[in-house]
């Protein structure tokens, strides 16, 4: 669609999140976790928003490293290498913002991952923030890699390099600082975004923190391997 009908088109971020919550109700799928869209200035400019957006990852759209992932019905045609965190305990709403130290202390594990976003809008770059939030911040498919070694807690994730390999075609590089200055800062942002909405970031949920490089152009037949160095790797084969 070009846009939501006037009668139900959200005009504010809060209204967008209200629509997103109702989409959850009709999807009849359990929530796997959360995603953050537009975590870089370039990404924000590309879709015409002035800050990050939170969306929900749903069961039934989640794969694990090494899976065949169908691109049928998707229009964006991109894959995004991302740092993902599985929460170890709840971060409930509260008046005082969470600090990065508090948020990271609530994390259980870190995972390499790949997000495959998509939108229901014909031109998502013109939809605007409230409608994109209603569109679940372009959440679509997600590939979760294995947990990184526990030594990740002693690393500077903002300076951590990531290499992408699209077999037989091209490669690309990125780093953690491309994600709102670093994955822990992005995770802190969403913890406080949800708290302001009265939503708990719950133990067991996975949060993927946004692409750490320019999104990878992909199509059916591509094999993608993302090397996170000492943190491990994640792979997927994309099919029609």
Alpha-carbon torsion angle 216, 189, 191, 193, nearest 10: -100
Confidence check: pLDDT of 50 > 90? no
Does 3.30.1540.10 match the CATH number of domain 6-60+81-149+174-217? no
User: Domain coordinates of the chain in residue numbers?
Assistant: 6-60+81-149+174-217
Token pair 């994730």 is found at 157
Beta-strand pair 67-70/170-175: unpaired
| Mean pLDDT of the residues in the chain | 96
Helix locations, the chain, DSSP H: 13-27, 41-47, 100-105, 129-134, 183-196
Residue 91 pLDDT grade (very low, low, confident, very high; cuts 50, 70, 90): very high
- pLDDT tens digits, one per residue of 64-88: 999 999 999 999 999 999 999 999 9
């Amino acid at each position: 669609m070009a846009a939501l009908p006037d009668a139900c088109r959200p005009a504010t971020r809060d209204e967008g999140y209200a629509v997103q919550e109702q989409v959850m109700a009709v999807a009849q799928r359990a929530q796997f976790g959360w995603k953050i869209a537009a975590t870089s200035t370039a990404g924000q400019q590309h879709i015409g928003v002035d800050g990050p957006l939170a969306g929900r990852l749903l069961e039934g759209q989640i794969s694990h490293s090494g899976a065949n992932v169908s691109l049928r019905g998707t229009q964006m045609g991109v894959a995004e290498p991302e740092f993902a965190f599985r929460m170890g305990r709840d971060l409930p709403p509260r008046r005082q913002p969470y600090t990065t130290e508090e948020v990271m202390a609530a994390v259980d594990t870190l995972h390499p991952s790949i997000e495959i976003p998509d939108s229901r809008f014909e031109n998502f770059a013109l939809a605007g923030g409230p409608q994109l939030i209603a569109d679940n911040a372009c959440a679509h498919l997600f590939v979760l890699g294995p947990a990184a070694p526990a030594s990740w807690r002693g690393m500077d994730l903002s300076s951590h390099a990531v290499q992408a390999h699209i077999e037989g075609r091209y490669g690309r590089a990125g780093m953690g600082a491309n994600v709102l200055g670093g994955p822990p800062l992005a995770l802190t942002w969403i913890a406080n975004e949800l708290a302001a909405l009265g939503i708990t970031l719950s133990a067991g949920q996975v949060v993927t923190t946004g692409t750490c490089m320019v999104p990878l152009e992909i199509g059916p037949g591509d094999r993608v391997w993302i090397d996170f160095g000492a943190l491990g790797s994640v792979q997927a084969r994309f099919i029609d």
